[in-house]
Amino acid sequence: MTDTSAASKAAAQSALPIVYVVDDDESIRESLVDLFRSIQMDAVSFATTTAFLDTADLRRPGCILLDVRLPGLSGLDFQLHLERIGSRMPIVFMTGFGDIPMSVRAMKAGAVDFLTKPFRDQDILDAVGVAIEKDMARRREMAASDAVALLVDTLTPREREVMAAVVKGLMNKQIAYDLGISEITVKLHRGNVMRKMQVRSVADLVRKAEMLEGR
Amino acid sequence: MGSSVLLKLINRRGKPSHEITLGLIALVLGAAVFYVDTFTEIQSAIAVLYVIVLLLAAEMLTRIGTTLLAVICAALTLFAYLYSHGLGEDVPAQLRFAVSLAAITITCALILRNETARAGLIEANLHLRDSETRFRYIFEHSRIALWERDYSAVRAFLMSLKAEGVSDLKDYYRTNPGIIATCTGLIRTIASNDAALELLGHVAGDLPSRTMRRYIAPDDDTFLDLMNAIFRGERHFEGKGNLVAENGETRLVIMSMSFPEDPAAFNRVVVGMVDITQREMMQKALREAQDELTRASRAATVGTLSASLAHELNQPLGAIVVNAQTLLRWLNREPPDLAAVRRSAERIIRDSQRASEIIHNTRSMLSHTDRTPEYVDLETLIEETRALMEHDFQRDMVSFEVDPAEKPPAVKAIRIELQQVLINLVTNAIQAMQETAIDQRKILISLARKDDIFVTLSVRDFGPGISEEAMAKLFTPFFTTKPAGMGMGLSICRSTLEARGGQLTAGNHPEGGAIFEMIIPIEDDHDRH
């Protein structure tokens, strides 16, 4: 096996979604992992949140199936902790007893679903499916904006100023006046921006600029 | 002055007129004797007749008076002798004189002795009457129910049985239960005091001179014991038995009696009884209340348990459901993955067994009958308690730490009891830290061998500690510092441990917070109770 094939295999695998099961109960862990395996979905389980943080690959798309009641850090506290360390992996909570205030808190903090044990397999699969889809979409968005950011990096400072003005909807004449350069020079910069940002119309440019917002 | 002298001499015992008559007769007789003795020539011991004067007068004279009269009589005799015979050597006259003097002296002595004896008798009589009055007073006014009863007939009956060859009365009773009725019919009440009448429900004055048959409860063994005591010639009897009062109520009494040595004295046996119905009822009520509270406390534990049980049971049940559904998925595949199906089925079996074990354990924990001592590993017990109360710790953000000290031996105890006490102490500790800053809420459990006999399990919290006034009443039932508390927890905990030979102590840690120590005997102390 060559390095390149191993790397490409890892890349291919990392592209597949994975379900991380965190529950202190071994029976639950085993049953869930087996359930996901039965639909050919990767699943790895952890008995504690610490074990999860130590070994889980947070870069892989997927979701966390998290028990609310865990020894040590509770599920809800762990949710906050993940957010603090910058992980945005969707969480599906599991609980032994339907505690309404607890589920409200979890959902407000961004949980995808809140399942009460014992649950129907389809409910878990649906919830996990939604969570993974959400993660994939987020990752696609992230990837797209990353690409745009790379394009923006190729622009000169002057070209960025021109682009910002174009996105605002200003006319060439106004831009030339604002920047204190000639209209011809603005047109030149504008052409460079369109080419470097790989867009054909101003509408496309605006969409790409929006992708960068909030970064 | 004259009258006081007179008082000393005259003793007014009888009627005055009678005394005056006697006095006058004595006086006249004395004068007559003196006259005849002195002024006649009768050659005889006339002076002996002074004896009659003395005897007559003694009736109304004191001892001093009598002595004085005797001296006067003797003086008169001497005077008469000297008057008629002078100092000459007249031997017969001297003899007569001597006889007279002797008679007077002896009579006086006899009168005096008689007087002493009579006084003694009167005094003894007075004492007797006093004593009788005192006895009556005690008898009548004692708050102990007292009866004077005639047991002579029943004794005679029992002795006749003995004479017929009965050696064991209780044995005889089994074949002849009728003897109880016969015996109760033979006992008569001679007297009873107010307390006794009250006990049986009579109005005062209505002397229950009937037999005892009416009052002995039919199922009362004590009466048979009493009969047996008489039968065997015992001198005392004490027992606890039931009496049926006039209004039909049953009264529980303690009775006590002493039998005389002399069979003839069996006609007056004093029986004392104290009504303990109320006391007995109170004790019963107290016991019931205690049982009730123990149940209530167990119910509280059940509350803790069931919250934990719901979670405990949900885990294997949840796993079973997922496994079963996954099994179907493996089975529905084309072709079915039978190896995976088998794995799922095996997991289902394992989890079902686990669920059933949890239920079994919980049941045995709650069962009333499961009170057999076993070797309890306290570390395991602490871990179980942690698991049971995990929910409470999370809710109140309390950390639960076990001090990893030396490992003490397992103790022979009743697991559920120790667990209940520990849960109670830990619950108290959690509640004591409501006001404590969250990062300082900690329960520290430590385990140590105290000595050869005991192991100490201590529960320390980091709350405000126990105030001095609370400390004094800490283990008193119904004392509580909690707004909704009943104040039974600690008192039950303490009696639970004490019933097994252990102890529960409370105190404050020098670095703050309260510390409770369960002192548990290593060897079972169950047999003592």
Domains of chain B, earliest start first: 2-133 (no CATH), 143-275 (3.30.450.20), 283-370 (1.10.287), 394-528 (3.30.565.10)
Hey, is the C-beta of A119 within 8 angstroms of any chain B C-beta?
yes
**Partner-chain residue, chosen from A27, A34, A124, that has the shortest CB–CB distance to B315:** A27
Inter-residue contact A117 to B314 (CB < 8 Å): yes
Task: Calculate how close chain A gets to B433, using CA atoms only, in Å.
Answer: 19
pLDDT tens digits along A150-190: 888 898 999 999 999 999 889 999 999 998 999 999 999 99
| In-domain check, residue A10 | yes
Residue percentage of chain B with pLDDT more than 90: 15
Q: What integer pLDDT is reported at residue A102 of this predicted model?
A: 75
Number of inter-chain CB pairs under 8 A, A vs B? 79
A132-159: average pLDDT: 89
Residue percentage of chain A with pLDDT more than 70: 90
Domain that includes residue A122, residue range: 3-139
Checking if the pLDDT of A113 tops 60, the result is yes
Q: What is the rounded average pLDDT for all residues in chain B?
A: 82
Q: How far apart are CA A123 and CA A65, in angstroms?
A: 12
HSE-CB of A142 using CA atoms within 13 angstroms: 10
Whether residue A123 sits in one domain with residue A49: yes
Residue percentage of chain B with pLDDT more than 70: 85
- B304 pLDDT band, cuts 50/70/90, is low
* pTM (whole model) above 0.90: no
- Beta partners for residue B270, in sequence order: B148
Task: Calculate how close chain A gets to B481, using CA atoms only, in Å.
Answer: 30
Q: What integer pLDDT is reported at residue B470 of this predicted model?
A: 83
- A3 pLDDT band, cuts 50/70/90, is very low
Q: What integer pLDDT is reported at residue B204 of this predicted model?
A: 44
Checking if the pLDDT of B482 tops 50, the result is yes
Decide which of A139, A164, A183 is a domain's last residue: A139
| In-domain check, residue A147 | no
Which CATH number belongs to the domain containing residue A50 in this structure? 3.40.50.2300
**Partner-chain residue, chosen from B319, B325, B343, that has the shortest CB–CB distance to A27:** B319
Q: How far apart are CA A25 and CA A175, in angstroms?
A: 64
pLDDT tens digits along B70-98: 899 889 888 888 888 777 777 888 888 88
| In-domain check, residue A148 | no
Contacts of A118 in chain B (CB under 8 A): 314, 317-318, 320-322
- A195 pLDDT band, cuts 50/70/90, is very high
| In-domain check, residue A146 | no
Task: Calculate how close chain B gets to A31, using CA atoms only, in Å.
Answer: 5
B283-295: average pLDDT: 72
Decide which of A75, A106, A139 is a domain's last residue: A139
| H-state helical runs in B40-176 | 50-58, 63-85, 91-141, 152-163, 169-175
Q: What integer pLDDT is reported at residue B529 of this predicted model?
A: 41
Hey, is the C-beta of A77 within 8 angstroms of any chain B C-beta?
no
pLDDT tens digits along B384-414: 888 777 777 887 889 999 887 677 888 988 8
- B300 pLDDT band, cuts 50/70/90, is low
Q: What integer pLDDT is reported at residue B460 of this predicted model?
A: 93
B244-270: average pLDDT: 85
Hey, is the C-beta of A69 within 8 angstroms of any chain B C-beta?
yes
Check CB contact under 8 Å for B314 and A34: no
Look at strands B399-402 and B269-275 and give their pairing. Answer: unpaired
Query: Which of B306, B311, B312, B315 to mutate against chain A (most A CBs within 10 Å)?
Result: B315
Checking if the pLDDT of A52 tops 70, the result is yes
**Partner-chain residue, chosen from B323, B391, B394, that has the shortest CB–CB distance to A31:** B323
Whether residue A131 sits in one domain with residue A95: yes
Decide which of A139, A174, A191 is a domain's last residue: A139
Whether residue A122 sits in one domain with residue A41: yes
- B218 pLDDT band, cuts 50/70/90, is low
The beta strands (E) that lie in A47-181 are given as 62-67, 91-95, 113-116
Q: What integer pLDDT is reported at residue A58 of this predicted model?
A: 84
Structure tokens at B168: 């064991």
Hey, is the C-beta of A96 within 8 angstroms of any chain B C-beta?
yes
Hey, is the C-beta of A97 within 8 angstroms of any chain B C-beta?
yes
Q: What integer pLDDT is reported at residue B525 of this predicted model?
A: 52
Which CATH number belongs to the domain containing residue A196 in this structure? 1.10.10.10
